[in-house]
Structure 1
Amino acid sequence: MAALAIPPSASQSHHATVVPSDRSNVIVFDETIDVDEDVTDFFDARFSSREDLANIKSVLQQQAAIANDLNQKLQDSKTTTAQVLKQAQNASKSALDRLQDLESSALGVEEQMENSESFASGKNKRDQRSLVDELGDLQTRVQALEDAKHYILTVSRTQKLISESKELLQTSVESALIPYGSLVELSNNTKVMLSGHGTKLESFLSASTESLLQDFKASLSKKFQASLDAIGWPKPIPRPFTIPDDKHDDFERSFKEILLLQEPTYGALDRSGDKPYPALLPIELMAAPLILRFKYHFEGNRPTNRPDKPEWYLNHVLELIKDHSPFLQEYVQIIVQETDYKEYDVKVNGPPILSVKFMRKERKIRLSAPTMLSSPEILSHAIYETLRFDKTLRESEFYFPPGQTTDWQGTVQVYLGNREWLKAWLRVEKEFASARYTQIIEDSDAWKPAYEDMAEKEYIIPTKSAEKLMDLLEIITERYRPLPVLEHRTFLLDIQLDILIDYHRHIRGLVDQYESLTYSFVRAMPGVASAEEINTMGIDGLRNLCQWLSSAEYISSTLKDWGEDVFFLELYKEISERAQKISNPLHSENDDSDEDYTLKKQMDANGTIFDDSIKGYSQLSKRIQELIVSSVSKEVFDSMRAYVSLRSWPQIEFSAPDSGSTLLPPVLDYTSSQHENDDVSPELYQPLNIFSHSLEFLATTLPTKHFTALYRQISPQMQDFFWHKIIMKNSFSELGGLQFARDIRIGVFGASRRWIKKPENYHRKLRDACILLSLQSAKVNSPPMLSFDQEDQENSASKHKNKDVNAAPVYATRTLAQIMAVLFDEDLEVDTVKHKLEEIGVLQLGINEAKDVIRRRVECWR
């Protein structure tokens, strides 16, 4: 608003020195006058109360007279100014004439020019400046009067609009809002015109607008409260909602009337954004007594206000929702649908009353959380209960804030949005997990099987520590699965990965200790082994290894299942999209090559959150399996010293045959358990006993799949041992070869047949060597043997007649001489030789390997 300056008196106007300044200050009689202050004092003096406004007409007339007087003075000043300017023009013309006459005198011309310029430029311009400044001052005073007039008119219009609105409110709320809207528009326009300088007029208009709105609310709230009392609110209203028509009409009418104040209170509803809509005014009034009861019970000194029992007030809110939702959804919702606020669909977005209740509950959280920092366990419990509360609202009440399109983060965000509270919570969660993990590991039964005598052998039986560990991780996951923010879920994932890393390191340390004791120098000294070293021997050692293997395998398989869970898949996707990588040092023992790393990066899109952990435990499982294989093999091989030292293989011969008897060695059949009366070499008893007990323990402890995998690794070592230590180190007679074949068939294969259906299939080279070493010799008292072709022709018909598709293949019987003739015949094709070997059952050995075995027979001269 422009400033207003008091005009000087007539006696002062000719002596005032006026310098133009800004609109707010004017210099009159060498004194600076604050125009705004003068205007303010002017109005404060004349209009100290609203009753003084009745004199405004006379004041306006007086000021109009002053303005006319000032206008007359302005006209006089303009006339005087015109005369002065005309005189200046005449003087300039006269000076030019004199310059033409005095061209011969330079000094005179210069002095004349100087006088002319001085006069033209106005060096003696006191009178001119006084006139200009006086004109500016008069214009400022006129503007101040105009502003004062506008000020008074604005105040008068404001009072008129207020009186009109209050009068119309008695008959129609919609009609009363028309002058109210005009008042709001007047206030906004005034603020724009005054540029928001915070003048008293702006404050007056804002206060008047707010006061009028509050009067509306008070009047309509009183009517609405009367309708609520009539229907029995805030008591739960049960179905069916049998409310009399007159009470229903009063409730509906007052509900819609107060809803007309929704836009004046909160502004127009923004339907384009992603912010929750404000609560409806009538719902706020309905929630007021519920909030009061909540505050009474949970924010005062009542016994119900306990920081360690957040579930009390959370359950209280859920009970309120349960009690009042039917009425809100089935009764109030119908009324809301008839208004401009159809977006407030309580059946989809949840009862609108929740918005108000959440405000109160969140306030409760902010009040109680600081007191929980000294007891982090209580804080953790409160966050857990709040997560449960949010989950119930999402799943049971289908709550979704009206107007919000993104996922609702829940009330737990009040806790987690505060960095101090978040750090305290994460610290206590890590401490809890660490303490629980320590209890699991230090339990005396940590490495015992979690289940005894399980009939099902298809799955690994975990140890108690592995099962409890995964139970702990599952509890952590389920407790905090509803966390809405990725950052918080990754923090909890770090807790889980830390536990998995610690458990992996613990098992790896036990395996390292076992390996160091197994291969220590003291272990090699009989009778000097310590108690710890004894635990690495025999069945005790296998038991420890199997317990660690079961733990690693169980965790690895469980993590594979978890990796496919929707929760972890979504978490992995979010982390990948944000280019975050959760480090895990489980597989740091074996650094990937550049090619492996490139392949891994390419496969990340199809990976899971636990890929690194699974890889670490799988590598540990593989290492333990190698130790089991090494332990069984070493125990058996160490006990075979006497068997390896046998030198009687070439001396075993036939006893004297009866006259006319036909001496033929038995055909070896590795697919049956016949020849029960045959016996193995006595030196093999102890190794077979160790081998059999080891297999029995592994078969009864591990699932069939794992046992078979271990046997598949043990069999090559057994085969190589017999090949290099027995076969290639000795010579064999015919019966010596038969005895060795019996040791393998009845001893080694027989010890395995209880758990492995066809153990000879895992020792194919050893089986083939036994066939060659037990070939019949061509002795002088032996009947003549047919050639390959002759015997094939004679036996062909009988073989086809008695053919059984389920029976084992029938191999031809050949003598050592026949096989030697085939093997050492340089003219035969390689395929022919292989075919002849296959006819006697030698399927795995190459030609050179078969020659090496045949040379171990004492009868072989090649």
Structure 2
Amino acid sequence: MSAVDTLPPLSAAAAHNAALLDGTTHRHAQGGHSNVVVFEQTIDVEEDVTDFFDARFSSRKDLANIKTLLNQQTELGQDLNHKLQESKERTAQVLRQAQTQSKLALNSLQDLESSALDLEEQMENSEAFAAGKNKRDQRSMIEELSDLQKRVQALEDAKRYIVVLSRTQKLMSESRELLQTSTVQALIPYKSLVDLTNNVKHTVASQDTKLERHLSASVEGLLQDFKGSLSRKFQSSLDAVGWPKAIADVSTITSDKLDDFEASFKEFLLLQEPIYGALDRSSEKPYPALLTMELMVAPLIMRFKFHFEGKRPTNRLDKPEWYLTHILELIKDHAPFLQDYVQGIVQATEYKEYDVKNDFIRLLLGAVERKIRLSAPAMLDSPEILSHAIHEALRFDKTLRENEDYVPPGQTTDWQGTVQVYLGNREWLKTWLRVEKEFAVARYTQIMEDVDAWQPAYDDMGEKEYIIPTKSAEKLMDLLEIVTERYRPLPVLEHRTFLLDIQLDILLAYHRHIRGLVDQHESLTYSFVRVMPGAASADELNTMGIEGLRNLCQWLSSVEYVSTTLKDWAEDVFFLEMYKEISERTQKIINPLNSENEDSEPEDMASRTRLDENGTIFDESVKGFGSLSKRIQELIVRNITKDVFGSMKSYVSLRSWPQIEMSDVGPQPAVLQDPLVSHHDYEDDVSPELYQPLTLLTHSLEFLAATMPTRQFTTLYRQVAMEMQDFMWQKIIMKNSFSELGGLQFARDVRVGLWGASRRWIKKPENYHRKLRDASILLSLQSAKANSPPAMVSYDQDKKSKDQGPTTRTLAQIMAVLFDEDLEVGMVKRRLEEIGVLHLGINEVKDVIRRRVECWR
């Protein structure tokens, strides 16, 4: 057994590298020189010379340039010879170094073989080593073997280094030479070099990063050589077509220039993948910019920097619209050439997903964003300028989205815009929000300080279906609409929701202001203690009569207009999307308008833990203003009824209702038994005590009808009618007894007085006083003695339909039915319906009947 046989076997990689090294050494030895032969081809000199002269000298005139051409070719030949000589010297030097390293490696291997033989001999002759007695010698031999193994590994690594370096140099030389003729062919050895580098990173890089750095630098250097060569070629084609000037008509450029542009464009794109990697079409992120577009945009960006980043007068901090307009003009000027011609070239490549115009815009926006980052810090000392710049950026972004349909190529999510550069910085964002809130509050203060703030915004709307807002309400909503429109383009929810803070703050201030006025009105109007009874102050006079009603109507119009406008806004797509986003991110929203309103009912806690999926962004605001509107309406009703009821003291104190006997005036026509029938020439004057109350009521209703829209007027009239009905029911009907003539007089007061005062604006006012209508029928029933026989007409015969009107019955007949305990309730109600009593309950009918002096029950 030889010493060589005892060495550990070489790894597969080491054996492969050794084979490569041996092969290389063998070829070098056979060739007798160190030059690497890349191409072997036979050149026919005479044929090449002939072709050369045929191509350049087609006529005698061309012979005049022969000297110039000869000088050019001489210089070209000298330059090529010089480069060839340099390449030969570099190649020879590398090969000499490789040979030297190989010889050293061989010498080391021979030394290792000799050492292994000596070691084997010592192991065979040493019984002490075999018996394990001499541990000191055993330890020494193990350490020596370990050291020898490390040296062998180092030699193997050195051999691999040499092979890798030699291979790297060869691929780089091949790639550079092929680049002179074909970029496609030059990329083949380049890709092999990339693969070699990746393989080394997974094997050798963990042991020595110097080789990895060298290979990476080689790949990068070769790629930069490619990029420099192709970019110069593409730049020449750009210069030929006149870029970066706007090219409005491609037909003005010769076909050979366009062909050269297209060829160099496509050739330059061959480096897109080597530089930026393979295109990831599954990602939501935008694609990398095209190399060709980077080169095309470069002079435009340089001009942009010259005008807007230097000391030129065009670089003004307070005029961001200048450079933004400049960018829009560049897009407008170059879009025809990019869309009509360049896009077609890109469509013929593997990058057809690109929109070249949007890629062009994206590269220009890089300069805009850089300009913003440079300018924004200086704007912090002048927040108004910062606010102006952000508004201009929002307008700029909106223009790109709407007019240019801009989306970064490959991006599937919404583009956040250049404004995001401002808003992405917390300090800049806080400064801007503070300025915007201060502006909104200042504008709101001006609105409320206007002396005509509560005057109607219009003299006449022309339609009674719409609310005539006050000037303050209209200007307030205009201000909020301006806030909405200015910040509608904001792309991020967190930034858009701040406009709600501005709007809610202003709405809350307006709500509190009106509520304070209402509180003051209520305290002056309904105070129980007067310092000087009978003497009212100027403020108290403003709460009385038509003047007080005017103030309440102005506040009501303001509240209703704001509430109605908010309902319309809530259905806007912008606010619906915002509400959806908020509902997905939060479980609770508390609106200060609702919490500030003392009239709001407590809400179920479970219902406030999440937002209503069918709700809107302004639901709570509308609810707060709705509660305030309800309170003002109640005050309007109280204002009207307070004056009317105050003037009805003499009417309420009448005690003549039961004292008028029917025999004093003789029989009355049957027509008076139906208070709904229109009066003719018969005596139908209302009680004189009712003149003043009816006058006050008429004036109040006339003012309301002229001030409020029809729907609002009807709502208020319904509430006034309910108050009047309850008052007359409690203070007159239930407090007095009535003879037949007294009942007829009361019926006339209701029909001619109360309803007549309202019939000008309400077609059927009796529908709003149904209890009074029924009570008037009962109180005006024809009298009959209690022991008199029933009327000749039976209840079971000759029934009249409702279309024929109510049946004529006497008081005795109605009492007989009403107090007959054997009759069913349904039968009693049908008998009451026959005389027109439709809305009172049986117990209420009995209470009214007992008001007649003839009633014995």
TM-score normalized by the length of structure 2: 0.82
Distance in 1 (alpha carbons) for counterparts of 2:96 and 2:282: 54
Deviations 1:392-438 (A, max 9, x none): 22222111211111222222221222222222222222222222222
Report the alpha carbon displacement of residue 356 of structure 1 after superposing the two structures with TM.
1.0
Distance in 2 (alpha carbons) for counterparts of 1:381 and 1:702: 41
Q: Which residue of 1 aligns with 2:653?
A: 645
Give the gaps of 5 or more residues in structure 2.
Answer: 1-86
Q: Which residue of 1 aligns with 2:625?
A: 617
Instruction: Give 1:183's aligned amino acid.
Output: L
C-alpha spacing 1:67/1:358, structure 2 compared with 1 (3 Å): closer
Deviations 1:26-60 (A, max 9, x none): xxxxxxxxxxxxxxxxxxxxxxx996874566666
Report the alpha carbon displacement of residue 590 of structure 1 after superposing the two structures with TM.
5.7
Kindly indicate whether the alpha-carbon contact (under 8 Å) linking 1:344 and 1:352 is maintained by their aligned counterparts in 2: yes
The alignment status of 1:723 with 2:742, answered yes or no, reads no
Distance in 2 (alpha carbons) for counterparts of 1:374 and 1:663: 91
Distance in 2 (alpha carbons) for counterparts of 1:237 and 1:367: 32
Kindly indicate whether the alpha-carbon contact (under 8 Å) linking 1:523 and 1:533 is maintained by their aligned counterparts in 2: no
Match of 2:337 among 303, 311, 327: 327
Q: Which residue of 2 aligns with 1:743?
A: 749
Q: Which residue of 1 aligns with 2:838?
A: 843
Q: Which residue of 2 aligns with 1:399?
A: 406
C-alpha spacing 1:524/1:853, structure 2 compared with 1 (3 Å): farther
C-alpha spacing 1:248/1:471, structure 2 compared with 1 (3 Å): same
The alignment status of 1:249 with 2:249, answered yes or no, reads no
Distance in 2 (alpha carbons) for counterparts of 1:724 and 1:791: 35
C-alpha spacing 1:674/1:499, structure 2 compared with 1 (3 Å): farther
C-alpha spacing 1:746/1:200, structure 2 compared with 1 (3 Å): same
C-alpha spacing 1:295/1:814, structure 2 compared with 1 (3 Å): same
Kindly indicate whether the alpha-carbon contact (under 8 Å) linking 1:639 and 1:686 is maintained by their aligned counterparts in 2: yes
Instruction: Give 2:557's aligned amino acid.
Output: S
Distance in 1 (alpha carbons) for counterparts of 2:687 and 2:399: 74
Kindly indicate whether the alpha-carbon contact (under 8 Å) linking 2:675 and 2:747 is maintained by their aligned counterparts in 1: no
Matches within 5 A, 1:181-220: 181-195=191-205, 200-220=210-230
Deviations 1:321-376 (A, max 9, x none): 11111111110111111111111134xxx432112111111111111111112222
Report the alpha carbon displacement of residue 841 of structure 1 after superposing the two structures with TM.
3.1
Distance in 2 (alpha carbons) for counterparts of 1:153 and 1:168: 23
C-alpha spacing 1:644/1:195, structure 2 compared with 1 (3 Å): same
Q: Which residue of 1 aligns with 2:135?
A: 121
Deviations 1:597-652 (A, max 9, x none): 54566881111111111221112211222222222222211111122222233344
Distance in 2 (alpha carbons) for counterparts of 1:411 and 1:816: 87
Distance in 1 (alpha carbons) for counterparts of 2:135 and 2:591: 89
The alignment status of 1:539 with 2:539, answered yes or no, reads no
The alignment status of 1:230 with 2:240, answered yes or no, reads yes
Kindly indicate whether the alpha-carbon contact (under 8 Å) linking 2:675 and 2:748 is maintained by their aligned counterparts in 1: no
The alignment status of 1:852 with 2:855, answered yes or no, reads no
Q: Residue 604 of structure 1 aligns to a residue in which SS?
A: coil
Match of 1:757 among 752, 760, 763: 763
The alignment status of 1:463 with 2:465, answered yes or no, reads no
C-alpha spacing 1:217/1:774, structure 2 compared with 1 (3 Å): same
Report the alpha carbon displacement of residue 189 of structure 1 after superposing the two structures with TM.
3.6
Q: Which moved more, 1:129-138 or 1:564-573?
A: 129-138
Distance in 2 (alpha carbons) for counterparts of 1:294 and 1:92: 85
Give the gaps of 5 or more residues in structure 1.
Answer: 1-48, 94-116
Kindly indicate whether the alpha-carbon contact (under 8 Å) linking 1:88 and 1:120 is maintained by their aligned counterparts in 2: no
Distance in 2 (alpha carbons) for counterparts of 1:191 and 1:823: 109
Q: Which residue of 1 aligns with 2:791?
A: 788
Q: Which residue of 2 aligns with 1:771?
A: 777
Q: Which residue of 2 aligns with 1:111?
A: none
Q: Residue 278 of structure 1 aligns to a residue in which SS?
A: coil
Deviations 1:555-611 (A, max 9, x none): 2222222222211111111122223433213223367667x4545668811111111
Match of 1:810 among 805, 809, 814: 805
Match of 2:615 among 600, 607, 622: 607
Q: Residue 743 of structure 1 aligns to a residue in which SS?
A: helix
Distance in 2 (alpha carbons) for counterparts of 1:183 and 1:794: 117
Instruction: Give 2:388's aligned amino acid.
Output: H
Distance in 1 (alpha carbons) for counterparts of 2:823 and 2:531: 52
Report the alpha carbon displacement of residue 696 of structure 1 after superposing the two structures with TM.
1.2
C-alpha spacing 1:626/1:81, structure 2 compared with 1 (3 Å): same
Kindly indicate whether the alpha-carbon contact (under 8 Å) linking 1:329 and 1:351 is maintained by their aligned counterparts in 2: no
Deviations 1:106-132 (A, max 9, x none): xxxxxxxxxxx7x4222xx4xx66666
TM-score normalized by the length of structure 1: 0.81
Instruction: Give 1:810's aligned amino acid.
Output: G
Distance in 1 (alpha carbons) for counterparts of 2:428 and 2:732: 73
Deviations 1:507-559 (A, max 9, x none): 22222222222221245964232222222211122222222222222222222
Q: Which residue of 2 aligns with 1:318?
A: 328
Distance in 1 (alpha carbons) for counterparts of 2:306 and 2:252: 31
Instruction: Give 2:719's aligned amino acid.
Output: Q
Matches within 5 A, 1:98-177: 119-122=133-136, 125=137, 140=150, 144=154, 147-148=157-158, 150-152=160-162, 154-177=164-187
RMSD (CA atoms): 3.4
Q: Which residue of 2 aligns with 1:281?
A: 291
Match of 1:628 among 627, 636, 644: 636
Q: Residue 249 of structure 2 aligns to a residue in which SS?
A: coil
Distance in 1 (alpha carbons) for counterparts of 2:632 and 2:682: 37
C-alpha spacing 1:63/1:615, structure 2 compared with 1 (3 Å): closer
Report the alpha carbon displacement of residue 791 of structure 1 after superposing the two structures with TM.
9.0
Match of 1:415 among 397, 422, 438: 422
C-alpha spacing 1:581/1:243, structure 2 compared with 1 (3 Å): farther
Kindly indicate whether the alpha-carbon contact (under 8 Å) linking 2:658 and 2:737 is maintained by their aligned counterparts in 1: yes
Q: Which residue of 2 aligns with 1:388?
A: 395
Instruction: Give 1:257's aligned amino acid.
Output: E
Distance in 2 (alpha carbons) for counterparts of 1:657 and 1:715: 33
Deviations 1:136-185 (A, max 9, x none): 55665565555555545544544443333332222111122222223333
Matches within 5 A, 1:442-841: 442-522=449-529, 526-588=533-595, 589=598, 596-598=604-606, 604-652=612-660, 666-670=672-676, 672=678, 674=680, 678-777=684-783, 788-790=791-793, 809-824=804-819, 830-841=825-836
Kindly indicate whether the alpha-carbon contact (under 8 Å) linking 2:675 and 2:776 is maintained by their aligned counterparts in 1: no
Instruction: Give 1:330's aligned amino acid.
Output: D
Kindly indicate whether the alpha-carbon contact (under 8 Å) linking 1:92 and 1:120 is maintained by their aligned counterparts in 2: no
Report the alpha carbon displacement of residue 247 of structure 1 after superposing the two structures with TM.
1.0
Distance in 2 (alpha carbons) for counterparts of 1:218 and 1:290: 20
Distance in 2 (alpha carbons) for counterparts of 1:89 and 1:794: 148
Kindly indicate whether the alpha-carbon contact (under 8 Å) linking 2:250 and 2:337 is maintained by their aligned counterparts in 1: no
Q: Which moved more, 1:274-283 or 1:835-844?
A: 835-844
Kindly indicate whether the alpha-carbon contact (under 8 Å) linking 2:102 and 2:159 is maintained by their aligned counterparts in 1: no
Q: Which residue of 2 aligns with 1:271?
A: 281
Distance in 2 (alpha carbons) for counterparts of 1:202 and 1:832: 108
C-alpha spacing 1:614/1:63, structure 2 compared with 1 (3 Å): closer
Deviations 1:793-822 (A, max 9, x none): 9998xx99xx9x6xxx53444444554555
Distance in 1 (alpha carbons) for counterparts of 2:135 and 2:140: 16
Distance in 1 (alpha carbons) for counterparts of 2:117 and 2:816: 152
Q: Matched residue pairs, number?
A: 768
C-alpha spacing 1:542/1:64, structure 2 compared with 1 (3 Å): closer
Distance in 2 (alpha carbons) for counterparts of 1:662 and 1:614: 56
Distance in 1 (alpha carbons) for counterparts of 2:214 and 2:129: 58
Q: Percent identity?
A: 69
